[in-house]
Amino acid sequence: MVNAYLWFNALLYIGLAIWCTLAPDSTAAAVGFTALTPSGQTEFLAVYGGMEFGIGLLFAYFAVSRQPRNGLVLGVAFYAPIVAWRAFAISRYGPLETTTIALAGFEWLLFLVGLALFLRQRNKHR
């Protein structure tokens, strides 16, 4: 189950990185970024393309190397701040577009599944 979670995250983030790299304008527009300057496009591509690809590689590494605990720590440490900051942003700037709400729900799901798997694995090794 843990390896499936890690592989799912790896493929998700590598796929997002490819989407952001090949179609940055439509990807940016889907999440509410509009009229990016060349500097903004560069930043979007670096963060949403490059960083997401790197995150995908980390999840894949922990799956391949059979380091489930480290992979789950990565997942929880990665998603916890995202859901916290997004919750704050929603409370401050909402209402939001459908795509952003869907992303928020999916991030909560990935955070809670990762946390549950981490806690289950931790309790199993006590």
Q: pLDDT for 42-62, tens place per residue?
A: 998 898 899 999 999 999 999
Q: pTM of the full predicted structure?
A: 0.86
Judge whether residue 83 has pLDDT over 80.
yes
pLDDT at 118: 95
Q: Which of 67, 82, 68 is nearest to 112 (CA)?
A: 82
Q: What is the number of structural domains in the chain?
A: 1
| pLDDT-based confidence at residue 26 (cuts at 50, 70, 90) | confident
pLDDT attached to residue 36: 80
DSSP labels, 11-62: HHHHHHHHHHHH-HHHHHHHTT--S--HHHHHHHIIIIIIIHHHHHHHHHHH
Range of the domain at 96: 2-124
